[in-house]
Structure 1
Amino acid sequence: MGILSLSDIANDPRVRRQGDALHQAGWSVFGVGLPGRPAPQPAWKIFTEPELSYDAEPQVPSSGARLAGMIRRVRSRFKRVPLARKLWSVVRAAKRLADLLAIWWRPEHAQRLYWTWPEPLQLYRACQGRTADIWLANDWITLPLAARLARECGGVYVYDTHELALHEYSERLQWRLFKRPVIAAIERAGIQGARHVSAVSNGIAATLKAEYGLAQLPTVIRNMPSYQEATFQPVGSSIKVLYHGILVPNRGLEEAIESVRSWRSDLCLTLRGPGNAAYLDALRARADALGVGDRVIFAAPVAMTDLVSEARRFDVGFFALPGHSRHNRYALPNKFFEYVMAGLALCVSDLPEMSALLKEHDLGVVIPDTCPDTIAATVNALTPASIEGYKRNALRAAQELNWDCESRKLISAYDALVDDVRRMEV
């Protein structure tokens, strides 16, 4: 099994869990991803290609290699002149715009455009000389790569999507005009050839089936941590609320910080995760300006293998995700299950996938909308007694909502696929 991901695999919860589950089931597994932060390495090998030495599709035909080299040298000298650099940037921007617009009437153009992007080429280069019975494409961005490797190196490819890519940033007009057509064209072409498709939630699976006319509903494999036994932790004198995950815009973080102004004095919020330095500074400045800098704590990110154990120090797992897109409405994120495994009460947005599971197991409370006043009212409604009840429920639910149980669907599907492929080869 070759697992492909445009991410730092050692710190990517879903991708790492895929490899761990397959390795433990007796598969020979390797991952191909991007370099990243130091982290405990899995028992299976991860390959990366730290440097790019070209900016065009690999394997340039030998007859054109000399001409291609001459063009690169001329272009390099041209760009050293200040005015020429400005003109060159305008030309490149115009070309990118033309490429994106062309996809509106020629979707197949997206495939050619894909192989001009440096990251897929980086992964392609790291895959050279490797073979696999199955290539696992994580998210739409690796679908063309997986298809190409299956053609060139043998095997078949499968697709696992962590997001509803067609609607991920649909609240942004620019994204709908220029990025969505690219994603739609690439995902449509790749998903049709995938021998198995999986998604993280029921809503995403149903949307993929409808959008692309799939014969079968994608398998829902939720993104849960492995089971870790934990003991109940009572609430102390201060109620500690945790958000952990990537710190980026459009996750309701600004509204959450603003809401802290109206939280009870026994409540405080910790934000833990990686993020752009400028954005983190802006969040800190916002907290200070609102007078809650002492009650909004910014904690350093931890390795994905430590997320659950570090979360146990808290009382409430928090995520006020805005419901402004189908992507967000169908979200069932890692952190939901990590909070459960840590034995926390949950306080999350009232979005279909999260709220249904929360209510099924009585794990906490839902936030009707992401207005700061609404967030504050929801958080303030939590009492030490209710939090402790939800924490006990979470520990019980964790015995069911864990990767040890959920990964059986992944192993079963890929075992069956390998059997089918080998029967066809006989």
Structure 2
Amino acid sequence: MGNGRRPAVERLPRRIGRQVARGPGNGLNHQVVAKTLTRRVCIVTPGALGSNPRTVKEAEALSGAGFKVTVISTRHRPEVDPLDDSILDTADWNSIRLDLRTRLRRLPGKLTHTAARFAAERWDRAFLIDRAFNAATSKLIRVARSVPADLYIAHYPAALPAAASAAARHGARYAFDAEDFHPGDWPDDPVYEPLQRALNRIERRYLPGAAYITAAAPLIASAYSKRYPVALPAVILNTFPKDQAPVAPTPCGSGAPGPSLYWFSQTIGPDRGLETAVKAIGIAESRPYLYLRGLPQPGYLDDLMALADGHGVRDRLRILDIDRPSRMVPLAAEFDIGLGIEAGQTANRRIALTNKMFTYLLAGVPALLTDIPAHRDLQQTLGFAAKLFPVGDARAMAARIDEWLRNAEALQAARQEAWRLGQERYNWDYEAVRLRDCVVTALDPDGIRSPTS
């Protein structure tokens, strides 16, 4: 590469040869470790590492359990590259990234995607349908087939054809991780019907052949088992490692100015409940500051600031830069209350559990949640570490905010309970054992499961 340009497919070998831990409490036993050391797992995602923490956690968990892991991902947003780089600096697994950042590099995939989408509407052929759904799928198929593995794990439907094709080529098995209920991703609008049909054909074709399916929420698992002829997926919650948590709970947040409400996501944009939050801080007697972390959609911040102006709270709306996934828990711990305020405008949004709630719990921060089915079920297990309010009801949201921020004892008790729940149940240390058992069973159904599962 004499011109200094990066290759379209970047292959990075593992950088750290971490030894497999065998101490107490790690959920492993010697017989399982001996088997996993020779097993290869290839994880395939159409997304970037820096915007897909669940994929990274899976790679780290399986590599730490002794599997030889390769992750195939993409690069398509330059602003996410620094996050990718920070992950790869300490990764102990192999990385292959498809560079889709320039129009020239996206063009072949776009052309294939457009042609396949046109043809798939006329001919019911799996080859066409697979490539019609997502422009990255053709490249993912080609690269995945070049990586020998014993198990291929697809994240998102666009990666399913790649995982299945690679598994068929190498005499291996494949699995699927459902972070969302993808048939419910879109509003009920005829404009989305072509995508819905393509998705249905892909999932109906490949999911029954998967060695296992995991889901990021109980209601997502239930929805998939009802829609397709598959066993109830194993639930692997979107939690985070305990070593990211503060050593002890604190009575209130340390962020200034305060009191403070905190929300984060990859994207700051509409239909996320943010408009309700802006109105609520204008109503709440505690006069909280609202901190938002993420990449604003073009033009959206102007609209949100205009709304804040109209409610007299522009000076209390603060926008924070994106940061590494591994920093989300300690950053959240700086604030008084965490917000999980999804509006539930699609079927998936109503039943999904985003990583926000579990970030807050591990950070020792109580969660204020919209009253949608997924949050309602979760709140029953969280007790006074979480409160619910009706979607879009700014006055009810303000009242719940004041119940904590105008009562220091209640806020301290809620933060202590959130931290306890994060330490005892809602953490990746717990979920990683369940994930590893799914993989071990898929590769060796007669294998020995860990005594903690």
Instruction: State the TM bucket, normalised to the shorter chain.
Output: 0.7 to 0.9
Long gaps (5+) in structure 1: 61-91
Are 1:19 and 2:59 an aligned pair?
A: yes
Flag the 1:115–1:285 CA change in 2: closer, same or farther, 3 A: same
Question: What RMSD in Å do the two structures reach over aligned CA positions?
Answer: 2.7
Secondary structure at the aligned position of 1:332 is classed as coil
* Structure 1 counterpart of 2:27: none
Give the aligned residue type for 2:416. Answer: R
* Structure 1 counterpart of 2:361: 340
Q: Is the 8 A contact 1:319 1:348 kept in 2?
A: yes
Structural mapping, 1:374-413, within 5 Å: 374-382=396-404, 383-399=407-423, 400-413=425-438
Determine the C-alpha separation between the residues in 2 that align with 1:415 and 1:345.
Answer: 35
Indicate which of 249, 259, 275 corresponds to 1:232.
Answer: 249
Are 1:361 and 2:388 an aligned pair?
A: no
Residues 159-186 of structure 1 show CA distances to partners (whole Å, capped at 9, x for unaligned) of 11100111122344422x2322221111
Indicate which of 335, 339, 348 corresponds to 1:314.
Answer: 335
Determine the C-alpha separation between the residues in 2 that align with 1:317 and 1:224.
Answer: 15
Q: Is the 8 A contact 1:48 1:123 kept in 2?
A: no
Are 1:201 and 2:217 an aligned pair?
A: yes
Determine the C-alpha separation between the residues in 2 that align with 1:164 and 1:221.
Answer: 14
User: Which sits farther off after the overlay, 8-17 or 44-53?
Assistant: 44-53
Query: Per-residue deviation at 1:46?
Result: 1.6
Flag the 1:409–1:281 CA change in 2: closer, same or farther, 3 A: same
Q: Is the 8 A contact 1:320 1:367 kept in 2?
A: no
Determine the C-alpha separation between the residues in 2 that align with 1:119 and 1:275.
Answer: 24
Give the aligned residue type for 1:371. Answer: D
Flag the 1:365–1:121 CA change in 2: closer, same or farther, 3 A: same
Residues 276-314 of structure 1 show CA distances to partners (whole Å, capped at 9, x for unaligned) of 233334323332343321111111111101000111110
Determine the C-alpha separation between the residues in 2 that align with 1:372 and 1:171.
Answer: 26
User: Which sits farther off after the overlay, 280-289 or 199-208?
Assistant: 280-289
Q: Is the 8 A contact 2:141 2:165 kept in 1?
A: no
Flag the 1:101–1:284 CA change in 2: closer, same or farther, 3 A: farther
Structural mapping, 1:133-282, within 5 Å: 133-175=150-192, 177-214=193-230, 216-228=231-243, 229-230=245-246, 231-235=248-252, 238-246=258-266, 247-282=268-303
Flag the 1:278–1:111 CA change in 2: closer, same or farther, 3 A: farther
Flag the 1:406–1:53 CA change in 2: closer, same or farther, 3 A: closer
Give the aligned residue type for 2:264. Answer: H
Q: Is the 8 A contact 1:150 1:156 kept in 2?
A: yes
Give the aligned residue type for 1:367. Answer: F
Flag the 1:13–1:374 CA change in 2: closer, same or farther, 3 A: same
* Structure 2 counterpart of 1:283: 304
Q: Is the 8 A contact 2:44 2:144 kept in 1?
A: no
Indicate which of 278, 293, 311 corresponds to 2:314.
Answer: 293
Determine the C-alpha separation between the residues in 1 that align with 2:183 and 2:203.
Answer: 9
Determine the C-alpha separation between the residues in 2 that align with 1:421 and 1:121.
Answer: 35
User: Which sits farther off after the overlay, 360-369 or 314-323?
Assistant: 360-369
Residues 135-161 of structure 1 show CA distances to partners (whole Å, capped at 9, x for unaligned) of 000121211111111122441110111
Determine the C-alpha separation between the residues in 2 that align with 1:28 and 1:421.
Answer: 21
Determine the C-alpha separation between the residues in 1 that align with 2:274 and 2:120.
Answer: 31
Identity in percent: 24
Query: Per-residue deviation at 1:330?
Result: 1.2
Query: Per-residue deviation at 1:129?
Result: 3.0
Flag the 1:281–1:43 CA change in 2: closer, same or farther, 3 A: farther
* Structure 1 counterpart of 2:450: none
Secondary structure at the aligned position of 1:243 is classed as strand
Flag the 1:57–1:189 CA change in 2: closer, same or farther, 3 A: farther
Are 1:32 and 2:72 an aligned pair?
A: yes
* Structure 1 counterpart of 2:38: none
Determine the C-alpha separation between the residues in 2 that align with 1:111 and 1:125.
Answer: 13
Determine the C-alpha separation between the residues in 2 that align with 1:258 and 1:96.
Answer: 45
Long gaps (5+) in structure 2: 1-40, 448-453
Flag the 1:57–1:317 CA change in 2: closer, same or farther, 3 A: closer
TM-score where L is the length of structure 2: 0.78
Flag the 1:402–1:293 CA change in 2: closer, same or farther, 3 A: same
